[in-house]
């Protein structure tokens, strides 16, 4: 009998979450029943969307339940199997994050073929965040030759891949992120005009200086003042891929709001929101392109790693304080 520690939702956050909203608990994990596998997680991810699941509200994913382990992406190793589809030593991907180990039906986990990438890459640039960047730019924003691209949250998991895809495809890229270390990272990955929005009293002015002829695509991760800057800098017919608006996720009302939305009319803008899970049909093309880009040394990844299941709430809270450069991950084993 294995003991696994897990993080449970103790109370629903109101506004900015805190450590008190989470609790660490230990459970026993028996031998797997027929048809099940037993998995020890190696890595788990924390993602901004999880904040929405902490509210008791109807959304595209159901809310987390109080007193139960949270859920989210994880990669782990099969340590015991009672199903012929998987054997001990296999790497698997699952949605049973926020815990050290678990039993699950073999069909509820996915065998992970890493193709030479580190397993944790599949929680970041080679996984959901990478696919989000790909879908947002290529399908939602319909990136085309000559577009000037503005990416907010540019030094994060999704944003840093979006910037690199746009650069690979030959575009001028403006990226905004908070702080000098993130700006340096943006330079390292080829962003033409990195903006430290925390050091800019006038973000709109900074974006307009970086793109004197305007922007054609805006990849939205942040909301608020970033959206306003994009509306002001947008060219006629610009396309906005609305991926996330993290600056509003801890609002207790409708959020800070966006001024200048009327510009969407005069400039005939397309503002299109999307959820990556509705675009799974692009996964195969993404995997092929990514493999080529990695092989050609065109895709750089950064990770911010916390250690141990007990650090998972802290890792999650860190997303809202800008503590991560690249993907925020928790290493469990
Ligand atoms: P990140 O790795 O970008 O981490 C979050 C970052 O957001 C922080 O590091 C911080 O960067 C920035 N941030 C946090 N709070 C604020 C704030 N109040 N104002 C401005 N910036 C803030 O996260 P992801 O890459 O995983 O996600 C990026 C966005 O994409 C999120 O909005 C997320 O919800 C969304 N998303 C949407 C998906 C979809 O299907 N539509 C799928 C995946 C993600 P900094 O220091 O630069 O401020």
**pLDDT tens digits for range 67-106:** 999 999 999 999 999 999 999 999 999 999 999 999 999 9
**pLDDT tens digits for range 281-320:** 999 999 999 999 999 999 999 999 999 999 999 999 999 9
**pLDDT tens digits for range 237-259:** 999 999 999 999 999 998 888 99
Is residue 283, in this structure, part of any structural domain at all? no
**207/119 same-domain check:** no
Q: Which two tokens stand for residue 295?
A: 């092989």
Torsion of CA 131, 78, 332, 105, to 10 degrees: 70
**185/104 same-domain check:** no
Structural domain ending residue among the three candidates 262, 278, 294 = 278
**Is residue 44 within 8 Å of 97, Cβ to Cβ?**
yes
Ligand 1 atom closest to Cα of 226?
Answer: 20
Whole-number Cα distances in Å, 75 to 110, 114, 150, 270: 9, 11, 32, 37
Nearest CA to 260 out of 231, 289, 217 is that of 231
Number of domains, the chain:
2
**Which of 153, 165, 316 to mutate to test ligand 1, by most ligand atoms within 8 A of the CB atom?**
153
**34/62 same-domain check:** yes
**179/106 same-domain check:** no
Question: For position 58, which CATH number holds?
Answer: 3.90.180.10
Q: How many angstroms is it from 48 CA to the middle of ligand 1?
A: 6
Q: What is the pLDDT of residue 130?
A: 98
Angstrom distance (rounded) from CA 28 to CA 105: 17
**107/148 same-domain check:** no
Q: What is the pLDDT of residue 256?
A: 84
Domain that holds residue 313: 2-124+302-331
**155/190 same-domain check:** yes
Q: How many angstroms is it from 175 CA to the middle of ligand 1?
A: 13
Angstrom distance (rounded) from CA 124 to CA 322: 17
Q: What is the pLDDT of residue 254?
A: 86
**12/120 same-domain check:** yes
Q: How many angstroms is it from 38 CA to the middle of ligand 1?
A: 33
**pLDDT tens digits for range 38-50:** 999 999 999 999 9
**pLDDT tens digits for range 174-216:** 999 999 999 999 999 999 999 999 999 999 999 999 999 999 9
Q: What is the pLDDT of residue 258?
A: 94
Is residue 285, in this structure, part of any structural domain at all? no
Q: What is the pLDDT of residue 333?
A: 87
Is residue 287, in this structure, part of any structural domain at all? no
Nearest CA to 301 out of 74, 124, 112 is that of 124
Rounded to 5 degrees, φ, ψ at 313 are: -60, -40
227 pLDDT band, cuts 50/70/90, is very high
Percent of the chain exceeding pLDDT 90 equals: 97
Is residue 154, in this structure, part of any structural domain at all? yes
Q: What is the pLDDT of residue 46?
A: 98
Percent of the chain exceeding pLDDT 70 equals: 100
CB burial of 14-30 (b: ≥16 within 10 Å; e: otherwise) equals eeebeeebbeeeeeebe
Q: How many angstroms is it from 150 CA to the middle of ligand 1?
A: 15
**38/132 same-domain check:** no
**274/133 same-domain check:** yes
Is residue 290, in this structure, part of any structural domain at all? no
Which residues contact residue 305 at a Cβ distance below 8 angstroms, ignoring those fewer than 6 apart? 329, 330, 331
Mean pLDDT in residue range 16-21: 98
Is residue 261, in this structure, part of any structural domain at all? yes
28 pLDDT exceeds 90?
Answer: yes
**157/207 same-domain check:** yes
The owner of tokens 């099969």 is: 78
Mean per-residue pLDDT of the chain: 97
Angstrom distance (rounded) from CA 193 to CA 122: 28
């Amino acid at each position: 009998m294995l003991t696994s520690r897990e993080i449970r939702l103790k109370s629903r956050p109101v506004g900015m979450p805190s450590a008190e909203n989470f609790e660490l608990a230990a459970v026993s994990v028996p031998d797997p029943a027929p048809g099940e596998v037993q998995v020890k997680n190696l890595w788990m991810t924390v993602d901004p969307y999880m904040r929405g699941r902490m509210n008791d509200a109807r959304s595209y994913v159901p809310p987390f339940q109080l007193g139960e382990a949270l859920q989210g992406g994880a990669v782990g190793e099969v340590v015991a199997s009672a199903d012929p589809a998987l054997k001990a030593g296999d790497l698997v991907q699952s949605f049973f994050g926020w815990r050290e180990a678990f039993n699950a039906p073999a069909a509820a986990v996915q065998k992970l073929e890493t193709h030479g990438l580190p397993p944790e890459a599949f929680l970041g640039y080679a996984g959901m965040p990478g696919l989000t960047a790909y879908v947002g730019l290529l399908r939602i924003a319909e990136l085309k030759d000559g577009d000037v691209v503005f990416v907010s949250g540019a030094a994060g998991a999704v944003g840093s891949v979006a910037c690199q895809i746009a650069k690979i495809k030959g575009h001028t890229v403006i990226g905004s992120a908070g702080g000098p270390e993130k700006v340096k990272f943006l330079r390292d990955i080829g962003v033409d005009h990195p903006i430290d929005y925390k050091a800019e009293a006038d973000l709109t002015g900074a974006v307009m200086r970086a793109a004197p002829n305007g922007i054609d695509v805006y990849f939205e991760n942040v909301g608020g003042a970033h959206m306003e800057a994009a509306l002001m800098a947008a060219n006629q017919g610009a396309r906005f891929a609305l991926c996330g608006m993290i600056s509003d996720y801890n609002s207790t009302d409708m959020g800070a709001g966006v001024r200048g939305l009327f510009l969407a009319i005069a400039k005939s803008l397309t503002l299109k929101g999307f959820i990556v899970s509705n675009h799974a049909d692009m996964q195969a093309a993404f995997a092929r392109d990514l493999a080529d880009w990695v092989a050609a040394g065109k895709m750089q990844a950064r990770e911010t790693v916390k250690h141990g299941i007990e650090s998972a709430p802290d890792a999650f809270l860190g997303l809202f304080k800008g503590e991560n450069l690249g993907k925020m991950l928790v290493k469990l084993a």
